[in-house]
Amino acid sequence: MVAPIVKKPAKKTASSANSMWGGQFSVAPDDLLAKINVSISFDKQLYRQDIRGSIAHAKMLGKQKIISAGDVKAIVAGLDGILKDIDAGRFEFKDSLEDIHMNVEAALKERIGDAAGRLHTARSRNDQVATGFRLYVRDAVDALDGALKELQKALIARAEENVSTLMPGFTHLQAAQPVTLGHHLLAYVEMFGRDRGRAADARARMNESPLGAAALAGTSFPIDREFTAKEMGFDRAMGNSLDAVSARDFALEFLAFGSICAVHLSRLAEEMVNWSSAQFGFIRFSDAWSTGSSIMPQKRNPDAAELVRGKSGRMFGNLVSLLATMKALPLAYNKDMQEDKEPVFDTVANLMVCVMAMTGMVKDFTVNKEAMAVAASQAYSNATDLADWLVRELKMPFRDAHHVTAKLVKLASGKKKMLEELSLKDLQTVEPRLRQEVFACLPPLKSAESRKSFGGTAPGNVKKAAADARKRFL
């Protein structure tokens, strides 16, 4: 048999390659190279920041008389039009143009002609990418700060409603001492406050402009980097051109902030999962924040809390992913760094939805005060109060008081009674000097009210702490 004739695919010419690369290439890249190289599917999220950086660059080129005022006007108008088209969903993103930067530049050329080609004077895609990415991360920090502030506001409001609501405080997930729900919720206000502080610190460090560093060595054109920095709201221009195009520590620091914040969200989510269970019964979510079961009609599942808890893992992974990408890269730009954006985009999206979901859950749940109060009185959670009474009233060394109280707990446990249910005669079998007055310190509310030290759970403290948190964070 004669072998079938297989036609070889026509060789791609340079005209089918990305025309932005210049005249050195006579053949287009292999399809697989093109596929692995293209990033427009995800970096189109940077369109606002890319256009903002290009407008600042064009204005600077005009100010420095590197390009004409007419070209600046045409470039700015063209970029404004592209921005409006993308916002309206009228813009066609093309894989053949690789990334957001080339897509915008090509569209600009279609609109205004040769003037578009002058926009790239004195810059490279390297500093262009770094600038747009910094602007994006900075915008994300600002948006997340606002969302975290709303979460703190919700937590403070619920704390103020529950200044005196008793619940068990836990160590090792074992009932330890009575606290108030307001005090417990304010702990998370402090955590999210530190998260906002970390984000603010990261923002201050990232607020330097890479634009004008060009490919890696700067440019021979008489540019004004401080002008473009101020146009984009940066504090200053970055001081080293190699560092400007190759640094991604701003993204790593953002991902570190995101991971720590995700830990705090996950911890609160875990508490909500526990508290809303039948075994705890401390809180109940409304139908709006509960889901059902496909087979068990009685179920009310806290899926939102579980997803917040679950999404923390992927955010940790995003941090590790970028750390691994950057750890062995020599200066300056390397194509590996195209992998910097998807982890950041993913963390921005997931952290925002988690913060907003947590805010919704905090506002939504109703509190079963009776169940919390009963739990606060169980497991001898007032034992420390008894030990403190022995120290305070009998001048007993705390270690001795601890030993005496442990014996009393053992006695009560053997009689299947709480400490406050023992008779004075029972108590005196262990410590003869105990008096009737000791019973006044044993009710859970008295225990909580006695914790008046700064930062303690006493209702008066909680009320003051909530007011202070409003001043500090809102």
| Catalytic machinery residues | 172, 293
Strands 166-171 vs 174-180: parallel, antiparallel or unpaired: antiparallel
Between CA 367 and CA 371 the distance in angstroms is: 9
- HEC string of 240-254 equals CHHHHHHCCHHHHHH
Are residues 351 and 144 in contact, defined by beta-carbon separation less than 8 angstroms?
Answer: yes
Are residues 255 and 344 in contact, defined by beta-carbon separation less than 8 angstroms?
Answer: yes
Between CA 317 and CA 309 the distance in angstroms is: 14
| Vertex 244: Cα angle to 240 and 246 (nearest 5) | 120
Are residues 50 and 120 in contact, defined by beta-carbon separation less than 8 angstroms?
Answer: no
Taking alpha carbons only, the member of 179, 165, 185 closest to residue 267 is 185
Between CA 421 and CA 414 the distance in angstroms is: 12
Question: Tokens 């074992």 identify what position?
Answer: 174
Are residues 36 and 92 in contact, defined by beta-carbon separation less than 8 angstroms?
Answer: no
Question: Tokens 């330890």 identify what position?
Answer: 176
Are residues 111 and 50 in contact, defined by beta-carbon separation less than 8 angstroms?
Answer: no
Residue type, 400: D
Residue 338 token pair = 């195209």
Tell me whether residue 300 is exposed, middle or buried, using C-beta atoms within 10 angstroms of its C-beta: 0 to 12, 13 to 18, 19 or more.
middle
Name every residue whose Cβ is closer than 8 Å to that of residue 358 and which is 6 or more positions away in sequence.
151, 265, 268, 269, 308
Are residues 324 and 248 in contact, defined by beta-carbon separation less than 8 angstroms?
Answer: no
Between CA 463 and CA 159 the distance in angstroms is: 8
Are residues 192 and 362 in contact, defined by beta-carbon separation less than 8 angstroms?
Answer: no
Name every residue whose Cβ is closer than 8 Å to that of residue 54 and which is 6 or more positions away in sequence.
75, 79, 104, 119, 128
174: left (phi over 0), alpha (psi -120 to 50) or beta: beta
Between CA 416 and CA 236 the distance in angstroms is: 70
Distance of CA 35 to the CA centre of its chain: 31
Q: What 3-state class would DSSP assign to 299? A: coil
Cis bond leading into 107, ω under 30°?
A: no
